[in-house]
Amino acid sequence: MNNLLFSWNFWNFLIALIALLVALYSVWYTRQRDKISLEITDATFEELEHNPFFICFCIFNNSTLAVKITDIKLCNQDGTPASLILGHEYQPPQIPEMTDSLFSPVYIPEPYYFEAPFINEVFIPANDSMTFKYYINPFAPNMIIHVTSDKPLHRWSKTKTFSLHFTKSN
């Protein structure tokens, strides 16, 4: 046994084994660090007067790489596509007209209610989010959202499915 500890073959083997383990750890760590992770946050809805339901959600890129989103599909809980109303313009609540135009309230459009649908490919930088807004009718608070990317999101699949419950906005 004493001879084995002092032989060059033993030390060469031990150093090679340690180098192999460090290389394998390096490959594993790089793959873990470069893995794309998306989350959907702030899923809210509002029932507006004189308008369809207004839904809003953010896709958060919780990874160290930028990601290109190539498609977003909204579906009902049973898998049928949601009936989005694209191109809808927000109709403000009716403001009573006053006879004195000098002191009458002026309508200023509220930018929060402008729709921001997914139209074409978008890049979401690392550790950043992008907000999407839609008008929809009919609306169910439980929906499924399919997000497709140019890189794998879940194992080898480029599409990740989120089951969401939209909460009423304040």
| Domain CATH number, residue 129 | 2.60.40.10
164 within domain boundaries: yes
Interval 22-63: pLDDT, tens: 999 999 888 777 788 999 999 999 988 888 999 999 999 999
pLDDT number for residue 69: 95
What residue numbers bound the domain in which 141 lies? 38-90+107-168
Q: What are phi and psi of 14, to 5 degrees?
A: -65, -45
62 within domain boundaries: yes
Q: What are phi and psi of 136, to 5 degrees?
A: -145, 140
pLDDT number for residue 34: 77
For residues 71 and 44, give the distance between their C-alpha atoms in angstroms, rounded to a whole number: 21
pLDDT number for residue 105: 60
13 within domain boundaries: no
25 within domain boundaries: no
| Count of domains observed in the chain | 1
Q: Which residues of the chain have pLDDT under 50?
A: none
**Contact present, 160 and 147 (Cβ < 8 Å):** yes
pTM: 0.76
